[in-house]
Amino acid sequence: MSADKADDAANLPPTSDERLSPEQQKEKAEVVKAAVKKIKTWFNYCHSSLGFNSIHQINDAPPHQPSNAQFYMNMDKFKPLCDSEFEKVWPTLGLSQDYMVSNRVKTAKRLVEDEPPEVQEQVHTFVMEAHAKAVKDYYFMFHMSGDSFCANTEHLIRIV
C-alpha cells in the first residue's frame, strides 16, 4: 500500500509553494513570518489591555451609595448606641469573625428602623448629600482633562 500512496502523491497537482521560484518562496516566508509576528503582538496587546482595563475599571469605579444603616452606625450621634447594642448581641450569636461586619450592619439597620420617621429622613438626607458630594469629587478627580466634559450628578460641567 505504501507504493499506492507514493503514486497518489506523485499524481497530486503541485502546491502553490512548488510553483514559486526560490526567491519568491523566500519572500513569501518573510511575509508570513512578519504577519505571524504582528498577529502574536496584537493578541498579546489585547490580552494585556483586557487585564489592565479591568484593573483600571475597578480602581476608577464611581462611588456607590451606601445604605442608611452604614451611615447611621458611623454618625457621631448614633455610633455609641450602635456599638453598645452590637456588643450585647454579638457574643450571643456564636458566629465566626467573618460575620462580624454583616451583623454590625444588621444591628444598625434594626436600630434605624426603630427610630422615628424624622430621624430616618434626616439620616437618608445625610446619605444622599454625602453620596452626591462623593460622586462630584470623583468626577472632578478622575476626569480632569483640559477641555473634556464631565458628568455631575445633576448636569454636565466643563472643567477648564
CB 28 within 8 A of CB 20: yes
The reported pLDDT for the residue numbered 62 is: 78
- 150 has a pLDDT exceeding 60: no
Report the C-alpha dihedral over residues 62, 68, 70, 73, rounded to 10 degrees: 150
What's the chain's average pLDDT?
77
Q: How far apart are the first and last CA of the chain?
A: 82
Percent share of the chain, pLDDT over 70: 68
Q: Is the pLDDT of residue 146 over 50?
A: no
pLDDT of residue 66: 86
Chain centroid to CA 158: 26
Instruction: Give the Cα separation of 102 and 109 in Å (integer).
Output: 10
Instruction: Report d(CA 107, CA 85) in Å as an integer.
Output: 7
Grid coordinates given for 87: 456588643
The pLDDT of residue 152: 44
Q: Which residue has the higher pLDDT, 83 or 15?
A: 83
pLDDT tier at 148, thresholds 50, 70, 90: very low
Which of helix, strand or coil describes residue 17?
A: helix
Examine the pLDDT at 43 and tell me if it is beyond 70: yes
Distance, in Å, from the CA atom of 132 to the CA atom of 121, rounded to the nearest integer, reads 16
User: pLDDT per residue over 47-98, tens digit each?
Assistant: 666 666 666 566 667 788 889 999 899 889 999 999 999 889 888 888 888 8
